[in-house]
Amino acid sequence: MLSQRLLGDQLCLQLLPRAAYSARDPAQWHTLGVTLERQQGVHAIDSDHRVDFDTLPGVLAHTPVGVEVFSESASGGEYLLLRLDEAFARQHLPSVNHRIQFAGQSEALGLARTLRRLMLDPQRDSLALEQATLALIDQASAPANDRPTPKALTRVLDQIAEQFHQPLSLEQLAVTYGHNELRFLRDFTRAIGLTPHAYLVEVRLQAARRMIEQSNSPLASIALDAGFAHQSHMGSVFRKHLAMTPSQYRSRF
């Protein structure tokens, strides 16, 4: 887990990795969270009633002080978490007494990916981190309407999770969705906040990161196993989204 305190310890920014977990948060801070990748598990929000969840990328969640959240997942999912002290949250966030979340938040997801890149940079730019963090708080103060995800889209996400290493076309994914390509593209982008192609690239990036962290396989082999056309393609994606090359990522992690 990467962590950074900002603005005189009023804020604490954390990048939680994809890993199995079981946690109970007593919510002593106000928290904002953005899912960077799909996550499945079970949770209980301010009660002992546990329910299954399947959370997609681009979900922005706001949990106020005093709301206890239990969450458990066998695989986890990369997650950006921002903790705000009560005085700062009271000044900058809407007053709520229960956990709320909004799906398909493309702006929040974009800011979370920017913050991920900045946090992974060994020479962190504090000003850039603070600016992007405050922009995320601003997004949370007036998020777009929640966009429920059609269940048919989960079949598409399952297909991508299973076949990300293969060439996938818009036509193939639209067939799985059960509508034409234009309808699928519109619904997918509204629900998740990423186009199907951008989502596929993110899944491949996450897969490559795990392979680099967990094996000594050559980077060229990892690129192909993760679905990239070649090693330089993987390298350009790493530089764009993580601000480092695959070799630099391996050296750090």
Which of 75-89, 131-145, 155-169, 193-207 is predicted least confidently? 131-145
Q: What is the pLDDT of residues 210-227, one digit of tens each?
A: 999 999 999 999 999 999
* Three-class SS state of 146: coil
Span 129-145, average pLDDT: 87
Burial class (CB in 10 A: 0-12, 13-18, 19+), 196: buried
Domains of the chain, start order: 2-141 (2.60.120.280), 151-252 (1.10.10.60)
> Where does the pLDDT of residue 129 fall: very low under 50, low under 70, confident under 90, or very high at 90 and above?
very high
Q: In whole angstroms, what is the distance from residue 119 CA to residue 4 CA?
A: 8
Question: Which residues are 40's β-sheet partners?
Answer: 54
Query: Whole-prediction pTM value?
Result: 0.86
Q: What is the pLDDT of residues 30-47, one digit of tens each?
A: 999 999 999 999 999 988
Say yes or no to pLDDT of 60 above 70: yes
Say what the pLDDT of residue 145 is. Answer: 66
Beta carbons within 10 angstroms of residue 82's beta carbon? 22
Q: In whole angstroms, what is the distance from residue 93 CA to residue 84 CA?
A: 10
Say what the pLDDT of residue 253 is. Answer: 83
Q: What is the pLDDT of residues 185-213, one digit of tens each?
A: 999 998 888 999 999 999 999 999 999 99
